[in-house]
Amino acid sequence: MSGNKVCIILSDCQSCSGLSNEDMNRMLGALKGGAKAAHALIVKAPCIKESRKEIRTLHIEGCDRAVVGMWCHPEKIGALNWLPKKMSPSLIEVVDLSIFAAKSTKCSSQVDKYVRVLHASAAGLAHAEALKDRKIPFASKSVVVIGSNDRAKDAAKSLASKGIHAKLISMEPMPGVNAENLEVIDGATTEGLKGIPGDFRIAYSRKGQRKETDAASILLVSERCLSKAVPPKDSKVKVVPLEQFRNYSAGGAKVKGMAFLDDLQTLTTAADPVTPAWHTLLEAAKTAAANHMADYISVIARDVKAAGLLEMLWKEAADAGVKFIRYDDKSRPKISKEDSTISVKDLVLGESLDIPADVIVAPITTRPWEPMFIERLFLPSDWDLKSRLRGPQRGTAQSPCDGIFMVGYAGFNKLLDIAEPELDSAVAQISAFMQKGCHVARGAVAVIEEGKCSACLTCVRTCPYRAAIMNESWKAEIIADKCAGCGNCVAVCPSLAIELKNCTRPQIGAQVAASTEVVQ
């Protein structure tokens, strides 16, 4: 394969590599002599970070690709934009050698492994098919923030303050919101979204007309999920999140009434309560009653499910003196300001009571996500958002498609302390995304070879991003901008019809051969 001469760039900075001179020379000798494909270019400088100029001037003749052996962590030296222009990102393989010799156990016996790893990467890269124009500069310079709530407004304002042209699309009118390079489109409902990251086009309808605006990236801020946890501003009622009840102490102050609510939202919005963790709620009520934290301790809940294990807890709490009040949707509990009591109509007794509650303990949760908002936006790929956003490790605001960030969405009751920082992290990620200025097409993308597909539907069933579809001529087709480059379809295809760019079978095969090969 012409045009696949690979050079290995390795700095001999002793500080990070921890190798002695004699080891380093042994390693460089093995690198030069061993691999068939690579010719090693050794950079004599303490560290790659300082030696950018030397490498660039050497403008590595005769090589198309480079393997950069790093002793410290690749992230530390930032994007490798210092390499000569003719090398686009897909032609550089950064090999993190530090994972082989951790700081504490720097030992020269690892030299053989370093050589083998660099050779494997070089062999693999030699077989790589580079994507020609991997960098796609953004067509638009602005960010669209969609959401009709003040958190969306804050997000748009902070983006604008960072010098990014932000457009806020919100259903409700947003009076008095104006800032430098912030455009407000209120009273508009989104109709659809097209395009790829960096070149999105959002259709929306405003005052009956259908318009379209461009955006490089999109931030969806849904207020619906975040509970307005705070009761009316001026009431003397103190709110303690159930999660922090363990380390709550009245501090000697006389507490007349302590009310445990199933969901704080019921005080403010009409939304039905999210079922709390009954276990923690009842445990808390029981402990409160046990050490007399207040004269009158009550649990105010809508659907009292005393079933199974909980039955015991309900009974124990009742024995310890906790009063249970059940309300229904028509007679929701309300905080009356004067003497910090909650007035609620008890379903069982049938008359309305005034419960003393100068301290309210309630779980502060978000509401599981609502598909309606996502479907109305017809996001470019119809991911099943619920399964994508499972679990906090999934990254607070990440979505499968670059350039689209979501705040306030969760496949589960997300506690407020997770939901809050989501917005700041989303804003930070967007500004980083915008600074890049170009959308780096994912290194790996699946491509189907003409005529080899036997239409067995397995890739369509397997693709986690629904990027594989069946076209009209009953053959499989992969939508490039939805493909996340995971390669699962490549492995399940029975006719080997799909190949993963930049991670092709010969490329992996070469790496396997190189890593099991005996280097002289």
Partner 1 sequence: MSDKLKIVAFVCENHAMSAIRAASIAGESLPESVRIIEIPCTGRLETPQMLEAIGGGADGVAVIGCLEENCYHDIGSMLARGRVNRIKDILKDISMEPERVEMINAASVSGAMLMMKLRQFESRVASLPVLSLKGAIQ
Partner 2 sequence: MIRAERKPVSEIARMLAGKKKVLVVGCKTCVAIGHAGGEKEVAELVSALRLVNAKEGHGWQFEQTVVERQCEKEWVRPIEEKIISADAVVSLACGLGAQTIADMYPIKQVYPGVNTMFLGVPEEQGVFVEKCLACGECVMFETGGICPVARCAKSMRNGACGGSADGKCEVNLETDCAWYMIYERLKLQGRLDLMTKVVEPKDWSKSHAGGRRKIVRKDLLIQPTDRTGTEVKK
Residue 418 touching partner 1 (CB under 8 A): no
| Distance from C-alpha of 278 to C-alpha of 299, rounded to nearest angstrom | 11
Least distance to partner 1 from the beta carbon of 413, Å?
18
Instruction: Please pick, from the candidates 391, 432, 451, 471, the single residue that binds partner 1 as defined by CB under 8 A.
Output: 391
Residue 454 touching partner 2 (CB under 8 A): yes
Instruction: Please pick, from the candidates 161, 181, 269, 458, the single residue that binds partner 2 as defined by CB under 8 A.
Output: 458
Nearer to partner 1, 31 or 297 (CB): 31
Instruction: Please pick, from the candidates 494, 516, 518, 520, the single residue that binds partner 2 as defined by CB under 8 A.
Output: 494
| First-to-final CA distance of the chain | 25
Instruction: Please pick, from the candidates 20, 25, 105, 331, the single residue that binds partner 1 as defined by CB under 8 A.
Output: 105
For residue 247 the two structure tokens come to: 């380390």
Residues 6 or more apart whose Cβ sits within 8 Å of residue 238: 358, 359, 360
Least distance to partner 1 from the beta carbon of 357, Å?
40
Contact by Cβ (8 Å): 62, 2:
no
The residue type of 361 is V
Options 199-207, 367-375, 384-392, 452-460: segment touching partner 2 (CB under 8 A): 452-460
CA 420 to chain CA centroid, nearest Å: 14
Residue 16 touching partner 1 (CB under 8 A): no
**Tokens 């099991």 — which residue?**
516
- Inter-helix orientation angle 111-126/505-516, to 10°: 160
Residue 491 touching partner 1 (CB under 8 A): yes
| Distance from C-alpha of 368 to C-alpha of 366, rounded to nearest angstrom | 7
Contact by Cβ (8 Å): 130, 88:
yes
For residue 231 the two structure tokens come to: 């009761």
Residue 461 touching partner 2 (CB under 8 A): yes
Residue 496 touching partner 2 (CB under 8 A): yes
Residue 495 touching partner 2 (CB under 8 A): yes
For residue 423 the two structure tokens come to: 């917005």
Nearer to partner 2, 161 or 488 (CB): 488
Site for partner 2 in 462-491 (CB under 8 A): 462
Residue 463: is it exposed, middle or buried by C-beta count within 10 angstroms (0-12/13-18/19+)?
buried
| Distance from C-alpha of 424 to C-alpha of 435, rounded to nearest angstrom | 17
According to DSSP, the β-strands at 341-345 and 352-356 are antiparallel
Residue 508 touching partner 1 (CB under 8 A): yes
Options 9-17, 190-198, 211-219, 501-509: segment touching partner 1 (CB under 8 A): 501-509
Options 198-206, 305-313, 365-373, 455-463: segment touching partner 2 (CB under 8 A): 455-463
Footprint on this chain of partner 2 (rule: CB under 8 A): 454-456, 458, 461-462, 493-496
Footprint on this chain of partner 1 (rule: CB under 8 A): 73, 96, 98-105, 109-110, 112-113, 116-117, 120, 124, 387-388, 390-391, 393-394, 443-444, 462, 464, 484-488, 490-492, 500, 503, 505, 508-509, 511-513, 515-519
